């Protein structure tokens, strides 16, 4: 095998930008890329260039009318009223120039990652600009226009006849991907997220288990607000192993949103860098055991773009390559970004022991999450 892992990247992926004040900021992809380069963890031989997805590929998932609307919106030719019908021009998903082209690059990047893995040219591939898991067939939602993960899954089904396991550890429920394959027994979705009680998109309960032939192939583990590393990882590790053992996928695609971190401004979970080292480690082990190593990883949410996302996504790449950086952060990266950063940049890869005060309800949250996990996996445990 020529390459164990490849990193799909070019500046074309940074054009996905709503406006200067929007929380979704693709500068984080560049920040992660540069941190890896400065740390000596990413050399030219590992980088592959993305391509733009074709309309045909985008329409593997999205309705033609929606794609046309996104194109028109990006050319300033869509009326406000029609835009809103498609979720375009909302506060979450504002219209920006060339939004179709920018989104096509992201979809194309994830498809590039898929082809490298499925053609056997690499075992693992990383598409950090992807993971836009809230995009629906005919509607933009939650900062997401085209759902690159859903498109990639449908593409893998059609082109490679693959059974796909989708694993989503973003703090928000992976709703777009779940609903796209809700009645499909060849695609299994697992989402571990903050309960939808107080958080967008509100779905992702343990009762969403699939429909028709797909019943029993959709898994959700909604954890409580303020969940910390140990409990989050317990839910993730147990559910992933059991679901993988039940489904026996040909390939795994993970959505690696980094917004469950304590510092994230949009969510209420309390995980730290420890979790972001463990998530890829376990995904890799599962891919090795069930899929001959085949693993495609994407980015996703992540709104503390200075203190959290660059380190978390660098970990993802490094762990993919059997390495975990530790100790001081590369001086060159700090010098480059110190002034521009909205928060003091972290000086070490690890979080300090106490970035937050002890959570008073820790035991209660842990037991509650355990009960949720039991119920989520009940259908598998019952039949085994």
What residues does 187 pair with on adjacent strands? 164
Q: Which is nearer to Zn ion, 157 or 172 (CB)?
A: 172
Question: Could you tell me the smallest distance in angstroms from the CB atom of residue 103 to Zn ion?
Answer: 17
Question: Could you tell me the smallest distance in angstroms from the CB atom of residue 265 to Zn ion?
Answer: 11
**Which of 325, 348, 173 minimizes the C-alpha distance to 259?**
173
**Which of 281, 271, 24 minimizes the C-alpha distance to 140?**
24
Q: Which is nearer to Zn ion, 226 or 247 (CB)?
A: 226
Cis preceding linkage at 152, omega within 30: no
Q: Residues near 243 by Cβ (< 8 Å), separated by ≥ 6?
A: 165, 188, 190, 219, 377, 380
Q: How many CA atoms lie within 13 A of 260 on its CB side?
A: 36
CA dist., res. 226 & res. 258, Å (int): 15
Q: Which is nearer to Zn ion, 193 or 294 (CB)?
A: 193
Any idea which residues carry the catalytic annotation? 134
CA dist., res. 9 & res. 51, Å (int): 10
Question: Could you tell me the smallest distance in angstroms from the CB atom of residue 142 to Zn ion?
Answer: 8
Question: Could you tell me the smallest distance in angstroms from the CB atom of residue 259 to Zn ion?
Answer: 4
What are the residue ranges of helices labelled H in the chain?
27-38, 55-58, 64-74, 80-85, 99-118, 148-160, 175-180, 229-247, 273-291, 309-320, 331-337, 362-376, 378-383
Q: Are 105 and 13 in contact (CB under 8 A)?
A: yes
Residue nearest to Zn ion (CB): 301
Question: Could you tell me the smallest distance in angstroms from the CB atom of residue 141 to Zn ion?
Answer: 12
Q: Is 229 helix (H, G, I), strand (E, B) or coil?
A: helix
Question: Could you tell me the smallest distance in angstroms from the CB atom of residue 102 to Zn ion?
Answer: 19
Q: Which is nearer to Zn ion, 249 or 257 (CB)?
A: 257
Q: Which is nearer to Zn ion, 100 or 172 (CB)?
A: 172
Interaction site with Zn ion (CB under 5 A): 170-172, 257, 259, 301
Q: Which is nearer to Zn ion, 301 or 325 (CB)?
A: 301
């Amino acid at each position: 095998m020529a390459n164990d892992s490849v990193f799909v990247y070019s500046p074309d992926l940074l054009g996905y930008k709503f406006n200067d004040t929007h929380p979704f900021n693709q500068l984080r992809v560049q920040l992660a890329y540069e941190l890896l380069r400065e740390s000596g963890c990413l050399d030219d031989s590992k980088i592959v260039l993305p391509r733009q997805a074709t309309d045909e590929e985008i329409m593997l998932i999205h309705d033609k009318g929606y794609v046309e609307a996104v194109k028109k919106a990006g050319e300033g030719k869509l009326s406000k009223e029609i835009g809103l019908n498609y979720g375009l021009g909302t506060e979450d998903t504002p219209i920006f120039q060339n939004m179709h082209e920018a989104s096509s690059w992201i979809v194309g990047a994830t498809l590039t990652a898929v082809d490298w893995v499925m053609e056997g040219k690499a075992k693992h591939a990383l598409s950090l600009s992807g993971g836009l898991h809230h995009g629906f067939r005919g509607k933009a939602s939650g900062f997401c226009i085209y759902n690159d993960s859903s498109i990639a899954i449908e593409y893998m089904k059609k082109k490679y006849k693959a059974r796909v396991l989708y694993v989503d550890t973003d703090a928000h429920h992976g709703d777009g991907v779940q609903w796209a394959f809700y009645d499909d027994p060849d695609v299994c979705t697992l989402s571990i997220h903050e309960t939808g009680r107080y958080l967008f998109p509100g779905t992702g309960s343990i009762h969403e288990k699939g429909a028709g032939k797909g019943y029993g192939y959709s898994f959700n583990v909604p954890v409580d607000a303020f969940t910390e590393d140990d409990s989050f990882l317990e839910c993730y590790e147990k559910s992933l192993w059991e679901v993988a053992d039940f489904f026996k996928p040909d390939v795994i695609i993970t959505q690696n949103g980094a917004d469950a971190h304590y510092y994230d401004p949009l969510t209420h979970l309390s995980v730290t860098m420890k979790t972001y080292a463990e998530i890829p480690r376990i995904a890799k082990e599962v891919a090795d055991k069930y899929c001959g190593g085949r693993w495609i990883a994407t980015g996703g949410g992540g709104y503390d773009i200075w203190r959290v996302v660059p380190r978390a996504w660098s970990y993802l790449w490094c762990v993919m390559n059997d390495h975990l950086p530790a100790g001081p952060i590369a001086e060159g990266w700090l010098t480059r970004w110190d002034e521009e950063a909205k928060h003091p940049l972290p000086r070490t890869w690890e979080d300090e022991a106490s970035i937050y005060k002890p959570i008073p309800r820790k035991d209660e949250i842990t037991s509650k999450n355990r009960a949720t996990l039991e119920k989520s996996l009940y259908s598998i445990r019952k039949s085994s």
